Amino acid sequence: MRKISRYCFYAVLGLSFAQAVQANIPTTEIEPLLPQSSDVEQSLNQHPGVLAARSGLDYAAAYNQKIRLGDAAWTVKTGLQLRRTDAPDSGRSSETFYEPNIGLEKQVRLPNKARLDRDLGSREIVLAELKYTDAWHEASKELHGLWFAYLRALTQLDRQREQLQIIENQMGILSNRIRVGDAPRLELMLLNTEHLQSKEQLLQAEMSLSQTKQALSRYFQGNIPANFLTQRIKVLPQTYTQAQWVTAVLDANHELKLAQTQAQQQHALLQRQRLNSLPDPTLGVGYSREQAGADNLISFSVSIPLAQRQVRATAAMLEAEAKRADIEAARVQSRLVNETKLLSMQLQDAQLRMTKSEEIFTELLKQNSLMNKAYRLGEISLNELLLHSRQLIEGITRLDQARLDYAQNLSLLMLNSHMIWSIDDEH
């Protein structure tokens, strides 16, 4: 595989290292929640988008060689003319001569155009490298989203199993109460209905998990966990403000660098077209043999195309493309700023929800044993017990959601800042 240029490699690697130090975020704490780096690298190297972008490196190298050589090729011209002479006054008969000619010509690229073409070729290689690294990052974001979608489905399945287990335990308690005549059989019918609904929800959760696992396995070739505990997700110490996250993401983002470099390339193409207002001359040399070798002629020629209107029209088109590229680069930067601000806000929101949900769930756990005891003693109704059970499951589900939101938002910010899963760490 073709390597990215040494300059880009060390520049971006140094930037990523500086950001990780400045961020003061312990990546060793977040990495256990994510796939192993070796599995990620193997999976991303086989991602269709990455493979397609990798082929662009070879194309850019060939394009660079082509533009350095130029489009003008040597042209060989040859011909044969028939000369017939009539001499009626001299009494001689007419004569016929076959006179061959040959020529060689080539359009000569002016030195300033050649220098700019070399710059265009070199920048095309940089563009291919940026497209490759951006494809890697986009694939890593896709994998990141699929990974957390799978963790959410896995966690939801665990909660549905817990809910089913709670209902089955309640059915056991209710059966004992009915046996001693302490509860009506109607309550057992209601609880059976609740049990059937819970089993249906469990089946839906299993189907959802199967679908998300299949989607993840399309691009991920590593080990997919069979269980996951959200208790592993803890709030990590970090010193980044929203503005610092924005700066870190913009400094590391390949998509923005790609858009900016494409804008530079469009302006260079516009400059190159404007240079065509001074056309490249075509130089030629020729030789012809006439009158059976009596005359041998050598000729030199210079031809200059006159296409000023076409040059101006093409320059106007390229100028519009350059403006469009500038607008696109500004649009990408604005989108990245807004996305990063939103992620930072969502991270803070998830952190607050984690704290609040933990407090609520702790209170529900304290109430749980009391509610079960009260039902055994006939102090509360079945509906009250079921309501509390739903509140308990909903409480842990909200806590799971907050924890996963926190881990996903934080790891995505770190991913966008190249603190994890960076191509610069793999190549």
Q: Please give the Cα distance from 154 to 209 (Å, whole number).
A: 6
Q: Evaluate the CA torsion angle 86, 90, 92, 98 in order and state its sign.
A: negative
**Whether 222 contacts 173, CB under 8 Å:** no
* Cβ burial 47-79 (10 Å sphere, 16+ → b, else e): bebbeebbebbeebeebbeebeeeeeeeeeeee
Using DSSP's 3-state secondary structure scheme, residue 411 falls into helix
d(CA 129, CA 262): 12
- The string of DSSP letters for 366-394 reads HHHHHHHHHHHTTSS-HHHHHHHHHHHHH
As beta bridge partners, residue 79 has: 101
Q: Which domains does the chain have, with CATH numbers?
A: 6-74+110-279+308-426 (1.20.1600.10)
Q: What is the Cα–Cα distance from 141 to 420, expressed in whole angstroms?
A: 11
Amino acid at 330: A
| pLDDT value of residue 403 | 95
Q: Is residue 246 within 8 Å of residue 342, measured between CB atoms?
A: no
Among 134, 144, 125, 155, smallest CA distance to 65 is for: 125
What whole-number distance in Å separates Cα of residue 188 and Cα of residue 180? Answer: 14
Q: Take residue 161 and report the two structure tokens written for it.
A: 């199993």
Contacts 24+ apart (CB under 8 A), 333-339: 333/250, 333/256, 333/259, 336/246, 336/249, 336/250, 336/253, 336/255, 336/256, 337/246, 337/250
Q: What is the pLDDT of residue 416?
A: 94
Q: In which residue are the tokens 């040399």 written?
A: 285
Helix or strand run (H / E) with residue 25: none
Q: What is the dihedral of CA 314, 317, 321, 326, to 10 degrees?
A: 100
Q: How far is CA 236 from CA 23, 239, 242, in A?
A: 12, 10, 16
Listing DSSP states for 116-139 in one string gives HHHHHHHHHHHHHHHHHHHHHHHH
Nearest to 107 by CA among 63, 69, 162: 69
Burial 270-306 (b: 16+ CB within 10 A, else e): bbbbebbeebbbbebebebbbeeeeeeeeeeeeeeee
Q: Which of the 8 DSSP states describes residue 293?
A: T
Residue 8 has a pLDDT of 44
Please list the alpha-helical segments (H only) found in 233-307: 242-252, 254-275
Ordered per-residue pLDDT tens for the chain, 427 residues: 344 443 343 334 344 443 443 445 656 678 889 999 899 999 999 999 999 999 999 999 999 999 998 888 888 999 888 887 766 655 566 777 888 889 999 989 999 999 999 999 999 999 999 999 999 999 999 999 999 999 999 999 999 998 888 888 878 877 777 776 666 677 777 878 888 998 999 999 999 999 999 999 999 999 999 999 999 998 887 768 899 999 999 999 999 999 999 999 999 999 999 998 889 899 999 998 887 777 888 999 999 888 788 889 999 999 999 999 999 999 999 999 999 999 999 999 999 999 999 999 988 888 887 887 887 777 777 778 788 888 888 899 999 999 999 999 999 999 999 999 988 655 5
Q: What contacts 292, CB < 8 A, 6 or more positions away?
A: 97
pLDDT of residue 2: 42
- pLDDT attached to residue 19: 46
**Residue pair 97/290 in contact by the 8 Å Cβ criterion:** yes
- Predicted TM-score (pTM) above 0.85: no
Position 114: which residue type?
A
Using CA atoms, how far residue 179 sits from 183, 184, 211, in Å, is 8, 10, 43
Q: What pLDDT score was predicted for residue 249? A: 95
Chain Cα centroid distance, residue 399: 31
